[in-house]
Structure 1
Amino acid sequence: MKLDEFTIGDLFTTHRYKVTEADIMSFAKTYDPQYMHLDKEKAQQGRFNGLIASGIHTLSISFKLWIEAGKYGEDVIAGTHMNHIKFIKPVFPDDELQTVVEVLKKIPNKKDQGLLTVLLTTFNQHEDKVFVGELTALIKR
């Protein structure tokens, strides 16, 4: 969709994504090698009573789900920034995540492009909010 096709307040709901223990550990080994993501025994003794996904992993899944919804398509030029990122609840192995995306703002800045800001809100299978964050991208008009 082009910038002009989005309307402030539009809501889009993504498909679900099941997070596996293998996903959590693989991501963490590369990008966030902390014990709560990699060491099952130590994580079991910690605050969350088991392995949890990295917040950055949760953000990445949320973004993946939004992109796979196909709304940007070929009209996206580049991401420009993220704001107000919050990791609200932990994501555990076998959680199923789904993201609701709300159009917050659109700013035409040139004849053929502009900025689109959306709010990503991600929920687990219990409808618990696990992540929120604003994402702004440069989009063709």
Structure 2
Amino acid sequence: MKFSEYAVGQRYETKSIKLSKTDIMEFAKIYDPQYMHLDEEKAKKGRFGSLIASGMQTMNISFKLWIEVGVYGENVVAGTGMNHIQFIKPVFPDDELSVVAEVIELLPRRRGNGIVTVLLTTYNQNHQKVFQAELSALIDN
């Protein structure tokens, strides 16, 4: 979409993705090698009683699901920021995540392009909010 086609309040819903124990562990081995993501026995004794996904993995999945909606299309120039990142609830093996993206701010720039900020809110299969962040991108017109 072109910058001029965005409006504050537009909402988009993504498809969902199910996160397996293997998905969690494979991501953690490379990007977040902490016990709560890798050591099942130790994680069972921990605060959450189970392995949990890395917050970074939840954030990446949220971004992926949003991008796959295709709203930015060929008009996106680059990401410009991510603010107010919140890891609200843990994500467990076999949780199914989906995202609601809402346009919350438009900042016009030179030559008709501008910054579009969306609020990404990620939910599990029980409709519990697990992640939220504001994502901004420069969009051409």
Q: Same fold (TM over 0.5)?
A: yes
Q: Distance in 1 between matches of 2:46 and 2:7?
A: 44
Q: Which residue of structure 1 lines up, in the alignment, with residue 110 of structure 2?
A: 110
| Cα deviation, residue 112, structure 1 | 3.9
Residues matched between the structures, number: 141
Partner of 2:90: 90
Structure 1: which 5+ runs fail to align? none
2:134 equivalent to 1:131 = no
Runs of 5+ consecutive residues of structure 2 not aligned to the other structure: none
Q: Give the structure 1 partner of residue 39 of structure 2.
A: 39
Q: Which moves more between the two structures, 6-15 or 105-114?
A: 105-114
How many Å separate the matches in 1 of 2:5 and 2:17? Answer: 27
Q: Identity of aligned pairs, percent?
A: 60
Q: Which residue of 1 aligns with 2:17?
A: 17
CA distance in 2, matches of 1:22, 1:79: 30
Secondary structure, aligned partner of 2:109: strand
Residue 81 (str. 1) matches residue 81 (str. 2): yes
Cα deviations by residue, 1:63-99 (Å, 9 ceiling, x for unpaired): 0000000100111111011000000000001000000
CA distance in 2, matches of 1:5, 1:20: 37
Residues 14-67 of structure 1 show CA distances to partners (whole Å, capped at 9, x for unaligned) of 000101111111111111110000001100110000100000100000000000
> Partner residue of 1:64?
64
Amino acid at match of 1:116: V
Name the SS for the 2:119 alignment partner. strand
Give me the whole-angstrom Cα distance separating, in 2, the residues matched to 1:79 and 1:134. 11
1:65 is paired with a residue of what secondary structure? Answer: helix
Displacement of 1:110 after TM fit?
1.3
User: Aligned partners of 2:59 and 2:72: how far apart in 1?
Assistant: 18
Which of structure 1's runs of 4+ aligned residues deviate more than 6 A?
A: none
For the aligned residue pairs, the C-alpha RMSD in angstroms reads 0.7
Secondary structure at the counterpart of residue 93 of structure 2: coil
